[in-house]
Structure 1
């Protein structure tokens, strides 16, 4: 058998030394050992002295980890890279947010007073009719059943994803394909050809993706199992998520009341038209609602990201975990990071407002103008999807490193360029798990509400006239509860991905077993993103 390189012959110029442009890859086949040039150590290991006609191989399993200095901030006792000296960023956005919120509150005073005056002029009746009976004992029981079913399903599904992450990912992926195709066939059956063809195309594309994405399932499974296990240690993140959901619901009710009062206050009953003042106020109300809703949701997201980042950098480190990571992360989100949160939320709110205007124009127009408005709405929807995807990871950067929003967005774009395919596939696989769970949870909650009304026959629904409405409400409640639990998991996955992209060495030093699990499913993790 021929020896390579041949004994007693000089190494060919193109083979010695090994090319530095070809870094060591995990899982690669053993390569012949070449004596290094002086001053080029191989993983700090000294090679054995060469013997005649003997081959040597590069040492296996010793990665060259990216540098992480591990320095400590003397003011906080925390890692400097994770928790830099507190600094307020993008304060102008926070000031602007407070100004628009104050304007909405002032408008709401006049709008709600108009609603109250209208109610008093009708003898204390708000015009709700029999639907107000929903707030009787039977109606509240129906609502409680919907919430309870959604909560029980969320807990059961949460533990299921932790115990069998790979199987859950595969099953929900298959269910997504079936759902796409079922909706497409339904639309084709109704002869709504455009919607049916679009659904069919998406179903076929999603089925095709299975063959390209199935190799990424092991990494997504490790991420899903790890994040759910971490979240169990910090249940306060779920309490915060549900608090955010409650505030969103309360603010939505408040917004609808203001819209109704504003419309009634400025609508011209003589010409039966909305004057320019009313149109401007309605647009402002929608803008304020979108911005405030985005800020509330992103405060929760950024806070949860901060908790996972604290775990990533500090769990297993010499200084250990902080006493109350959720409270401390919430404090950062509401103080030093609030300007950046308002800035990123403003971008989405502007896009959502433009979409609302396009939808109103589409409803008021015919023919070519309606088509143009529809086209604009589609373009804005695509832009919104991209912006929301970037924002999710940008706010993780804000939570981890305290960056201003623009810097966080730029660094997110760098990660996308370096790890974009892996990031998108991982996000899609895990996000799909909770999207399908939310739909299933909503169906179960709606079904539970329907069964209760059929069995108990509450008086407010004696004729069955509100069955459809109550079932829809039950579906929405179950959907939102499961989505709320999924929000915590989604934020944890985004944070862990950003930390792995920027500082894989930190995980290798504090949690080597977890790092090895991730390395086996995603070998490229040892190479951090370079800016």
Structure 2
């Protein structure tokens, strides 16, 4: 890790600051227009049918969902740490079973093609177990290690929740700003009266609304990626600090780290010297997200107009952009790990990531797949429990209005979404930890052999390839 890190990719930071200043100006214009609209006046919010009591009634279910997902997430951490191999095997076969069950249900419902696809997928996934089962011991040690370090340094989870809160607030502000700008545009460019008495949208208003929406949508995508990747770089920096400086306490998975507040220092690096690289990599994802959204919107418009050729072209373009986006997102996971470990700029980190993928990419993909299975099945379980809690809240409310189907569905969906999002925020530190530890081992296994000999022996038993390059200089 660099002793005196330098600011990298400063141009990307400057570009994001400029865009953010323009966004702040949009907030300055949009918020007053939104608040002045009669539908959102404060007096309407505190009317007889609203007020503090109703506000509390609306908030407390969300607090229940957050509390339940946090407790379930901690329980999942304990299970992953105590029974990593069993959790990996259980989650793997659970996905096989779910795919086959879904296929059978589709066939019973008369949907032949989806049913056959799901059943074939489930059977192929089960058959693939023969090829990947030798990788399970290594993935088990990695999962146990990541869960143990996360328990020892819970500030990483806190940083994830802070990022989630900032993201939620940003989305709320984004919606208010967009709504306010639309109001302003319609006030400045009212509809045009036609000779027959009808009104049509002012073309200037249409153009300005589209431009405002696309611009704000791009900022939403970019900022969301920056928040997510900043959390990853923070967690990766902490895991790298533990790897390169931490010594193992006996045969336990607790480590003595000669660095005070390592999570805070990792966050400071992510928000300063490495922030430009984060903005650079996040910018690429944001551009692909915007192009994919435009392709999807064009496809929907072509479908409404009956233009099937254009719809087909947009559908293919959307599929291509989605594939490129998913590949780049997986690539960024390891590129930002390089940024956190060595303070590299994004391009240098990308070159190192390409070399890593070329050398040990298959091992990384299999390892990530096995561990992602555990996290994903946990997210589904926690989400379903959240939906059940939503139904329970409605059931215990006791008011007649609460028993209509739309209210029940709203609370169930809200419980599922809030629970699964909170759970994935907690589990994102595991994903960061596994990726970072894998990169550290792949590039410098000698450090683990020197500082953590007991852990190194466990790793070597499950992955003989860990010994490659111990006596070779580390590529920095």
Task: Note whether the superposition's TM-score is higher than 0.5.
Answer: yes
Pair 1:182 & 2:123 matched: no
1:281 aligns with 2:200: no
Distance 2:406 2:46 in 1: 17
Task: Classify 1:384/1:121 alpha carbon distance in 2 versus 1 (closer, same or farther; 3 Å).
Answer: closer
Give, in whole Å, the separation in 1 of the partners of 2:420 and 2:310: 35
Contact 1:186 1:196 in 2 (8 A): yes
Per the alignment, residue 253 of structure 1 pairs with 172
User: Residues 394 and 411 of structure 2 are in contact (CA less than 8 Å); yes or no, is this contact kept in structure 1?
Assistant: no
Residue of 197, 200, 215 corresponding to 1:271: 200
Gaps of 5+ in 2: 192-198, 249-254
Q: CA 1:498–1:469 in 2, change beyond 3 Å: closer, same or farther?
A: same
5 Å-filtered alignment, 1:190-339, equals 190-191=109-110, 195-266=114-185, 269=191, 270-272=199-201, 275-316=206-247, 320-339=257-276
Residue by residue over 1:64-90, the C-alpha shift from the partner in whole angstroms, topping out at 9 and shown as x without a partner, is xxxxxxxxxxxxxxxxxx234210110
- SS of equivalent to 1:412: helix
Report whether the alignment pairs 1:395 with 2:326: no
My pick for the range that moved more, 316-325 or 208-217, is: 316-325
Is 1:105 matched with 2:105? no
Note if contact 1:441-1:482 (Cα within 8 Å) is conserved in structure 2: yes
Please name the residue that 1:511 is paired with. Answer: 452
Q: Is the 8 A contact 1:301 1:491 kept in 2?
A: yes
Q: Is the 8 A contact 1:180 1:202 kept in 2?
A: yes
Kindly tell me: are residues 151 and 373 of structure 1, through their superposed partners in 2, closer, same or farther at Cα, counting changes over 3 Å? same
Equivalence for 2:285: 348
Cα deviation 1:9-68 (Å, max 9, x = unaligned): xxxxxxxxxxxxxxxxxxxxxxxxxxxxxxxxxxxxxxxxxxxxxxxxxxxxxxxxxxxx
Cα offset, 1:280, TM superposition: 1.8
Secondary structure of the residue aligned to 2:392 is helix
Going from structure 1 to structure 2, the CA distance change for 1:495 and 1:114 (only over 3 Å counts) comes to same
1:355-374 map, 5 Å? 355-366=292-303, 367-374=308-315
Q: 1:416 to 1:121 in 2, by over 3 A?
A: closer
How far the C-alpha of 1:108 sits from its partner, in A, is 2.3
What is the deviation of 1:448? 1.1
| CA shift for structure 1 position 261 | 2.6
Q: Tell me by how many angstroms 1:476 deviates.
A: 0.7
The answer on 1:160 being equivalent to 2:79 is: yes
Counterpart for residue 196 of structure 2: none
Q: Deviations over 1:385-437 (max 9, x none)?
A: 10010100111100000111001011111100100110000011111111111
* Structure 2 partner of 1:143: 62
Per the alignment, in what secondary structure is the counterpart of residue 365 of structure 1? helix
Give 1:192 shift: 5.1
- Once the two structures are overlaid, the 10-residue window that deviates more, 506-515 or 202-211, is 202-211
Say if 1:503 and 1:370 are closer, same or farther in 2 by CA, change over 3 A: same
Structure 1 residue 309: Cα displacement? 0.3
Q: Which moved more, 1:448-457 or 1:164-173?
A: 448-457
Q: CA deviation at 1:190?
A: 4.7
Q: How much does 1:126 deviate? A: 7.0
User: Counting helix residues as a fraction of each chain, which structure ranks higher?
Assistant: 2
> Which of 485, 488, 505 is equivalent to 2:426?
485
Rounded Cα–Cα distance in structure 2 between residues aligned with 1:237 and 1:426: 22
Q: Following the alignment from structure 1 to structure 2, what is the Cα–Cα distance between the partners of residues 214 and 158?
A: 23
Structure 1 residues 132 and 464: alpha-carbon distance in aligned structure 2, compared to 1, 3 A threshold: farther
CA distance in 1, matches of 2:97, 2:279: 39
Alignment CA distance shift 1:172-1:492 (3 Å): same
In angstroms, what is the RMSD of aligned CA positions? Answer: 2.6
Distance (Å, rounded) in 1 between the aligned partners of 2:40 and 2:223: 33
Q: Is the 8 A contact 2:238 2:266 kept in 1?
A: yes
Cα gap change, 1:493/1:132 in structure 2, threshold over 3 Å: closer, same or farther? farther
Q: 1:379 to 1:193 in 2, by over 3 A?
A: farther
Partners of 2:52 and 2:313 lie apart in 1 by 44
1:376 pairs with one of 298, 309, 317: 317
Return closer, same or farther for 1:133/1:126 CA change in 2, 3 Å cut-off. closer
- Superposed displacement of residue 263, structure 1: 3.4
Instruction: Structure 1: state its 5+ residue gaps.
Output: 1-81
Per the normalisation by structure 1, the TM-score is: 0.79
1:103 shift after superposition: 1.4
Does residue 1:94 correspond to 2:31, yes or no? no
Structure 1 492/197 Cα, relative in aligned 2: closer, same or farther at 3 Å? same
TM-score, normalising length from structure 2? 0.88
| In 2, Cα distance between equivalents of 1:457 and 1:509 | 63
Q: Return the offset for 1:184.
A: 3.6
216-225 or 145-154, larger mean C-alpha shift: 145-154
The answer on whether the counterparts of 1:145 and 1:449 sit within 8 Å (CA) in structure 2 is no
Distance 1:290 1:189, change over 3 A: farther
Runs of 4+ in 1 over 6 A off after TM superposition: 120-123, 126-134
Instruction: Write the distance in 2 (CA, Å) between the matches of 1:84 and 1:382.
Output: 38
Task: Report which of the two structures shows the higher radius of gyration computed on alpha carbons.
Answer: 1
Distance in 1 (alpha carbons) for counterparts of 2:365 and 2:67 = 34
* Cα distance, 1:180–1:113 mapped onto 2, change above 3 Å: farther
